[in-house]
A and B are shown apart, each in its own frame.
Chain A
């Protein structure tokens, strides 16, 4: 017998319907999806490696294009070394070229990577210019997106795990457990998040994972609070009494019956936390903690460009990563606002 599918109008389905009608949230979602795709496909859509330096072409403005030759790299055949040239010409089995400083050189064609002129020479355009080490800004921006998005994802996951566990324990058991956990919550809450992130970065040291962990363990407080609050009211509902009557264990009750009913506010907070994490990482990198060079990160790039702003040269080095970050954070905020309205239409802003 064929089973007919019963469509239940669940709260999440209603929320999704409301979300679809919110233009801001949709724009945010589209931009975020695009960013995720760009971050994943970074090697395919960027012309260079994020760490490749062409020192002769350092601090060039957006749209700059310069000739380069690819020289064989015996240490790493997949990544040829790059020679910046002003001009070049093929003479017999060697190439004569002048570098940007005007010095003439001769190099045998056999030392260049590739079989013909189209393979060993190129004239790439640096869409957003280059940085202090002649690295392509566009490439680094896209790779920086990887860092920012993974910071958001991993740090927020850490925060969610800690926040949900502590919040549910406090909300479910109340009494002494609640008192102890709330004391911890209030202690951590007394530190501004960004300062706590800085403090944990000093404790854990600089680096990739340290940054993720430092941000994660600094941002669980709001989640713990909201989960606890939700649990206080959910605990009194009849269906929770029913789980007790049926003899369900604590863990099963919490994870199968209470958490799903508190999911809406948690998702909303997590989205906001995602944006905060991106800002926190950039702030950390800006003061010299956080993800360390040569790994590209937006905060790092903004910091690098900062020195050039005062000189009034090449603003793009600061402007482009700032814009990228603003777009990411605004999209997250729009999406988060939409989610909040979708999950709780009562509090929506008119």
Chain B
């Protein structure tokens, strides 16, 4: 009895901390850091930063300061070492501040925007998808599906601009830009804008997954047993239809983060994306590297985590 529960715990631990998967995740993260290292302006970054008229002495100085005088493999090694050992992402060239500090300072704003958007998108998306599948091929269904096609087809920044125009300028319902320190109403437009695209996708995935499940034998059996159709719909169908939705939501999270950066840029929302995109103009590449790296790491971790959750939920995927 005790042995049985012990082996169960071991199996559970192996599922969560599967050594092979962990090792692979580390390998991927290493690759991600190396790719990020190469995000720098073409040619000699020191020359680019100082301008064409800078004298060679100050360019040389800058090269030493940025570590560009060392061979490439040393630079990559140093970059990886600093990140892994100290979490050090380097210094912003424009502000001379630590990139990590800037990111830590601005991360709450980005997280607030991203998390509130994905919550809204998930809740509304599932509801809309279920309604559309409840009355498949009705006008509600067609309306939801065609609107969601529009939502998928428009990039977030265009939706954002249109919302600014309609709700900010013409109707004057919500403020166009700024952060919640000036009131929560500042969150509304950026949040809704960001939610449109994932909402459309979640609604579509929920609908097609629901239709799939509704066609299965066990749903027919449940109906044949005489269960009320709303009960069959909610208990038997929806539960099983949610799996692909969970996958979609987790897969969308990183894409959503990237979208967040554009939204921050439009609404002047003081998150890490605004910092990164403002850095592009000044070719302040350590700042860009930091934000890109952070996004990729979040993506890798979210993916690994959803993998674990998946295997915990589904006995078929569990390691034997």
- Interface bits A54-81 vs B (CB < 8 Å: 1, else 0): 0000000000000000000000000000
Q: How far is the CA of A193 from the CA of B258 in the complex (A)?
A: 9
B157 touches A202 (CB 8 A): no
Q: How far is the CA of A322 from the CA of B150 in the complex (A)?
A: 12
Does A116 sit within 8 A of B, measured CB to CB? Answer: no
- Measured as residues with beta carbon below 8 angstroms from the partner, the interface class of chain B is 35 or more
B154 touches A329 (CB 8 A): yes
A333 touches B153 (CB 8 A): yes
Does A350 sit within 8 A of B, measured CB to CB? Answer: yes
Q: Chain A nearest CB: distance from B219 CB in Å?
A: 15
Q: How far is the CA of A282 from the CA of B169 in the complex (A)?
A: 23
Q: How far is the CA of A213 from the CA of B72 in the complex (A)?
A: 24
In residues 304-322 of chain A, which contact B (Cβ within 8 Å)?
A: 306, 309-310, 312, 315, 318-319, 322
Chain B residue at smallest Cβ distance from A276: B155
B254 touches A192 (CB 8 A): yes
Does A111 sit within 8 A of B, measured CB to CB? Answer: no
**A190's contact among B32, B155, B158, B262, by CB below 8 Å, is which?**
B32
B27 touches A183 (CB 8 A): yes
Chain A residue at smallest Cβ distance from B32: A190
Total A residues in contact with B, Cβ cutoff 8 Å = 42
Q: How far is the CA of A53 from the CA of B217 in the complex (A)?
A: 67
Contacts of A325 in B (CB 8 A): 154-155, 158
Q: Chain A nearest CB: distance from B48 CB in Å?
A: 9
A-B contact count (CB 8 A): 126
Q: How far is the CA of A231 from the CA of B283 in the complex (A)?
A: 42
- Interface bits B20-34 vs A (CB < 8 Å: 1, else 0): 000000011001100
A289 touches B208 (CB 8 A): no
A275 and B153 contact, Cβ closer than 8 Å, known pairs A199-B288, A302-B158, A322-B161: yes
Does A108 sit within 8 A of B, measured CB to CB? Answer: no
- Interface bits B159-170 vs A (CB < 8 Å: 1, else 0): 001101100111
- Interface bits B273-306 vs A (CB < 8 Å: 1, else 0): 0000100110101001000100110011001000
Q: List 26 A-B contacts (CB under 8 A).
A: A183-B27, A183-B28, A186-B28, A187-B35, A191-B35, A192-B254, A192-B258, A192-B295, A194-B259, A195-B258, A199-B36, A199-B39, A202-B41, A203-B38, A205-B41, A205-B42, A282-B155, A283-B157, A287-B277, A322-B154, A325-B154, A326-B158, A330-B153, A333-B149, A334-B149, A349-B208
Given A191-B35, A322-B162, 20 more A-B residue pairs with CB atoms under 8 Å apart are A184-B31, A187-B28, A190-B28, A193-B255, A194-B255, A195-B296, A202-B285, A203-B40, A283-B155, A283-B157, A286-B157, A287-B280, A309-B161, A310-B176, A319-B165, A322-B161, A325-B158, A326-B158, A330-B150, A333-B152
Q: Which 9 A-B pairs have the closest CB atoms?
A: A187-B31, A192-B258, A329-B153, A330-B153, A190-B296, A279-B155, A195-B258, A199-B39, A205-B42
